[in-house]
Amino acid sequence: MENSPVWFITGCSTGFGNELARQVIAKGDRLVATARDKARLADLANGHDDTVLALDLDVTKPDEIEAAVAAAKAKFGRVDILVNNAGYGYMSTIEEGEEAEIRRQFDANVFGLFAMTRAILPLMRDQRSGHVINITSVAGIIGFPGSGYYATSKHAVEGFSDALAAEGKPLGIKVTCIEPGPFRTDWAGRSMTQTPNKIADYAETAGVRLAGTKQVSGKQPGDPARAAAAIIAIAGREDAPRHFVFGAFGVDQVAKRLNAALEEVAAWREAGLATDFPAE
């Protein structure tokens, strides 16, 4: 147990975070499990006082991040795998997006994740090892109608992760983005807010998706238990992927999106090259 990896997972009360935490505990690894209300983690921590530390943590509150990282260091002395899982969805058309909801989305999904990562990096630098695993989404690569602001938050994490991977590699720190498609985590039913579509011009695009999203909650094809097992399988590996897309829908959609992007770059290659100063 003393030599087992130490995980730090945010958002463990439900969904991916909860399932991953359970499998980490079953594997025998050490775990810092966090949630906005640690009382919801009592069943995880019960009977595992030596290997599980349950903490209150709202990633939008810097003082709670600082306290949680200090407690993790005091308990285990290190953090090997950080899983930035905390976050939620917000759906609206772009035009009808509400400023307060957009900012609240970014505080959790973007700025909270950034702050959490910054707080853990000193430990990983000192260790000269670590793995940052960010739970993004297929929406981190594709902007679907009705979830533009959510997609933007996940695109931001993808760009952040690219830079972190480049900076961390010489220090032994790896970065992976997990990009799930639809999974049966009750994300759509519980961890998602909406601004209803009232502008008729969007009724057949974003409006259709907004109306249908909550109806499919609990029927998604992705299995959270299999997803958690896949994360555990790549955690800490030297060949861990930078991008790991989960589910048939996600794999197919991301492949189509990236292939289309390459085709577009090729189609406009000459026009793009022509914007440089002429070669001397």
Using one digit for the tens of pLDDT, what is the confidence trace for 134-184? Answer: 999 999 999 999 999 999 999 999 999 999 999 999 999 999 999 998 777
DSSP 242: S
> Cβ distance 268 to 161 under 8 Å?
no
Domain boundaries, position 243: 6-247
Per-residue pLDDT, 211: 83
Assess if residue 209 is contained within a domain: yes
Query: Could you confirm whether 150 is annotated as catalytic?
Result: yes
Per-residue pLDDT, 3: 85
Structurally, the chain folds into a number of domains equal to: 1
Examine the pLDDT at 10 and tell me if it is beyond 80. yes
* Three-state helix/strand/coil letters over 181-194: CCECCCCCCCCEEE
Assess if residue 196 is contained within a domain: yes
> Cβ distance 81 to 133 under 8 Å?
yes
Residue 190 confidence class, pLDDT cut points 50, 70, 90: low
- Name the strand (E) or helix (H) holding 102: helix 99-106
Handedness of CA 35, 175, 247, 229 (dihedral sign): negative
**Mean pLDDT value across residues 70-82:** 98
What is the arrangement of strands in the sheet containing 52-56, beginning at the earlier edge strand? Answer: 52-56, 30-35, 6-9, 81-84, 130-135, 173-180, 243-246
Assess if residue 83 is contained within a domain: yes
Examine the pLDDT at 188 and tell me if it is beyond 80. no
Assess if residue 30 is contained within a domain: yes
Residue tagged active-site, from 90, 149, 150, 202: 150
Per-residue pLDDT, 217: 62
- Name the strand (E) or helix (H) holding 82: strand 81-84
Examine the pLDDT at 88 and tell me if it is beyond 60. yes
Mean pLDDT of the chain, nearest integer: 93
Per-residue pLDDT, 102: 97
Per-residue pLDDT, 117: 98
Residue 269 confidence class, pLDDT cut points 50, 70, 90: very high
Assess if residue 31 is contained within a domain: yes
Per-residue pLDDT, 192: 76
CATH number at residue 135: 3.40.50.720
Bridge partners of 83? 9, 133
Per-residue pLDDT, 214: 62
Smallest CA-to-CA distance from 175 within 187, 189, 163 is with 163
**Mean pLDDT value across residues 56-63:** 98
Per-residue pLDDT, 215: 58
Assess if residue 155 is contained within a domain: yes
Smallest CA-to-CA distance from 79 within 22, 26, 34 is with 34
Per-residue pLDDT, 218: 60
Q: Residue 75: helix, strand or coil by DSSP?
A: helix
Assess if residue 63 is contained within a domain: yes
**Mean pLDDT value across residues 63-87:** 97
Per-residue tokens: 267: 């189609």
**Mean pLDDT value across residues 95-103:** 97
Report the alpha-carbon distance of residue 36 to residue 255 in Å, rounded. 36
pLDDT, one tens digit per residue, over 210-259 is: 887 765 666 676 789 999 999 999 999 999 999 999 999 999 999 999 99
Per-residue pLDDT, 216: 63
Assess if residue 258 is contained within a domain: no
